[in-house]
Amino acid sequence: NAGVTQTPKFRILKIGQSMTLQCTQDMNHNYMYWYRQDPGMGLKLIYYSVGAGITDKGEVPNGYNVSRSTTEDFPLRLELAAPSQTSVYFCASSYPVRQGNEKLFFGSGTQLSVL
Amino acid sequence: GDSVTQMEGPVTLSEEAFLTINCTYTATGYPSLFWYVQYPGEGLQLLLKATKADDKGSNKGFEATYRKETTSFHLEKGSVQVSDSAVYFCALSDRGGSNYKLTFGKGTLLTVNP
């Protein structure tokens, strides 16, 4: 049972480079999310999606783009990497959320350094 | 806005010791409260939750009670094990806000020594 799979696990980028963080889930969840976790800080929501073809911004969307062409996949794109984007990135998924039922399933994270 | 404040870590305990990790929150509405746990090398997973005042969430020997009067949701375990070593995150979902996102605390690293 794979759950939520993120690739790569680690990556080092140079300033100005671009890359895509991959996320796929095999639980047929409608909802998917991208969070980032900076050292000593809580998780911040970057983007989320409530279904294929529907995405919306979270708290910290600047510098990122997402797409949701299928239920399973929710890639996160960094177009011009900046040192401020050095962080650990978590993808998560869930069934349709209602109050008190916010059980998210997380991937194991991608550690990204921009130098 | 909504916020969650957790006690500063890291916390280091001996096996069978009592654990408390403090969590307080600020919310505009009537939130649901959660504890998530992240074991080394893994993603976060839901540990327990409570959806209304005085509710007690429990799982794997951990407990937390929703205290509206003190806006707190402290995590406790009577006897920790080495396998409990992990990062613990307190989180809330505010009924007055979006149903699509959680607000997380900074996380508390717990290390349990044999």
Least confident of A27-36, B25-34, B76-85: B25-34
Across chain A, mean pLDDT equals 91
Question: Residues B1-9: what's their mean pLDDT?
Answer: 87
- Chain center to CA of B5: 10
Q: Identify the residue among A43, A44, A59 best suited for mutation to test binding to B, counting B beta carbons within 10 A and taking the highest.
A: A43
Q: Which two tokens stand for residue A57?
A: 């911004």
Write down the pLDDT at residue B62. Answer: 98
Q: Is the pLDDT of residue B71 over 70?
A: yes
Across chain B, mean pLDDT equals 91
Question: Measured between CB atoms, does A33 come within 8 Å of chain B?
Answer: yes
Write down the pLDDT at residue A97. Answer: 65
Q: What is the DSSP letter of B72?
A: B
d(CA B30, CA B54): 13
Chain segment A1-57, per-residue pLDDT in tens: 679 999 999 999 999 999 999 999 999 998 899 999 988 788 899 999 989 999 999
Q: How far is A84 from chain B (nearest CA, A)?
A: 18
Q: How confident is the model at residue B10 (pLDDT cuts 50, 70, 90)?
A: very high
Q: Do B43 and A106 touch (CB under 8 A)?
A: yes
d(CA B77, CA A94): 28
Write down the pLDDT at residue B41. Answer: 82
Write down the pLDDT at residue B83. Answer: 96
Q: Do B99 and A4 touch (CB under 8 A)?
A: no
Question: Residues B55-75: what's their mean pLDDT?
Answer: 96
Write down the pLDDT at residue A42. Answer: 81
Q: Do A102 and B45 touch (CB under 8 A)?
A: no
Q: Do B4 and A42 touch (CB under 8 A)?
A: yes
**Phi and psi torsions of B82, nearest 5°:** -55, -35
Chain segment A62-106, per-residue pLDDT in tens: 999 999 999 999 999 999 999 999 999 999 998 876 655 678 899
Write down the pLDDT at residue B2. Answer: 83
Question: Residues B55-67: what's their mean pLDDT?
Answer: 97
Of B51, B93, B104, the CB nearest to A43: B104
- Chain center to CA of A65: 10
Q: How far is A69 from chain B (nearest CA, A)?
A: 19
Q: How far is B82 from chain A (nearest CA, A)?
A: 21
Write down the pLDDT at residue B100. Answer: 59
Chain B residues in contact with A100 (beta carbon < 8 A): 32, 49, 51, 93
